[in-house]
Amino acid sequence: MPNAPLAPRDRLIVGLDLDSVELAEAMIARLGDSVSFYKIGYQLGFAGGLPLIRKLADAGKKVFADLKMHDIGNTVAHGVASIARSGASFVTVHAYPQTMKAAVEGRGDSALKVLAVTVLTSYDDADLGEAGYGLGVSALVEKRAAQARTIGVDGLVCSGEEAARLRGIVGDRLALVVPGIRPAGSAVGDQKRVMTPARAIAAGADYLVVARPILTASDPRAAADAIVAEIAEASGRAV
């Protein structure tokens, strides 16, 4: 968990899951100062969006490079080192022990924070079984969280359903970043383990990742402001 209490607005990470840099820049302009933290993942990154990390950082925004790295150790270490030079604040790797160790090595003494993805929020026990795992979601998430704590990553990406249990495993040493956030009344889409902003904060989440409920809103800025207000109410802090 961050050393100092986070302002509610800084706990919202807006996922720029868009098809072009032009669309992303238009959304950033619409959101203005209502958002201080953005996520860039595969969709935008592979559409030429990785240089946007530096542009946003230079503009005073924080950026979460959601790259979910998983490869041989040398490749992961050098990839993380490259991201550390990009201006990103967070980067994700899959929570396999070798991968996490390599990412911590690649991060070095930079300010980049390595987040380990426990189990994707679109997976349930049946999905893990089909992939050959002998553990269900809860057991695998808890095992990977304990490994991440020992290895020394900076945070975990988990569903809101697991946040309270993981806080008990990792204490305040690791930040918990929760995707699959859906305000009350929002469509679930392809997610299987979702939670409202207030419930996720109450469960122990430090950061909430929200994309579609903001990007597809008729007024994205108002949608972002409403989520920030819900975070503020749940955390007992002013916006």
* Residue 12 bridge partners (DSSP): 208
Chain-centre distance for alpha carbon 38? 10
> Would residue 172 count as lying in a domain?
yes
Average pLDDT of the residues in 45-61: 96
> Would residue 239 count as lying in a domain?
no
Average pLDDT of the residues in 130-155: 94
> Would residue 1 count as lying in a domain?
no
* Pairwise pLDDT comparison (3 vs 84), residue with the higher score: 84
**Tokens describing residue 194:** 């979702």
pLDDT at 237: 72
CATH code for the domain of 27: 3.20.20.70
pLDDT at 218: 95
Q: Is 143 among the catalytic positions?
A: no
> Would residue 3 count as lying in a domain?
no
Total number of domains constituting the chain: 1
Q: pLDDT (tens digit, 9 = 90+) per residue, 122-135? A: 889 999 999 999 99
For helices 137-151 and 160-170, give the axis angle rounded to 10 degrees. 40
> Would residue 62 count as lying in a domain?
yes
**Spatial contact of 142 and 118, defined as CB atoms under 8 Å apart:** no
Mean pLDDT of the chain: 91
The percent of residues above 90 in pLDDT, for the chain, comes to: 77
- Alpha-carbon gap, residue 51 to 157, rounded angstroms: 24
33 burial via Cβ count (<10 Å: 0-12, 13-18, 19+)? exposed
Catalytic residue among 39, 61, 68, 143, which? Answer: 68
* Residue 38 bridge partners (DSSP): 14, 63
167 has a pLDDT exceeding 70: yes
pLDDT at 191: 46
154 has a pLDDT exceeding 80: yes
For residue 123, which of 108, 133, 110 has the smallest C-alpha distance?
133
Q: Please state the pTM of the whole predicted model.
A: 0.91
Q: Would you place residue 70 in the very low, low, confident or very high pLDDT band (cuts 50, 70, 90)?
A: very high
Average pLDDT of the residues in 109-137: 93
Q: pLDDT (tens digit, 9 = 90+) per residue, 182-237? A: 775 454 454 444 588 999 999 999 999 999 999 999 999 999 999 999 999 988 77
- Alpha-carbon gap, residue 146 to 124, rounded angstroms: 20
Range of the domain at 91: 8-234
DSSP 8-state assignment for residue 109: T
Burial of 85-103, coded b for 16+ CB within 10 Å and e otherwise, reads ebbbbbbbbbbeeebbbbb
> Would residue 82 count as lying in a domain?
yes
pLDDT at 65: 98
**Spatial contact of 191 and 122, defined as CB atoms under 8 Å apart:** yes
Q: pLDDT (tens digit, 9 = 90+) per residue, 168-179? A: 999 988 999 998
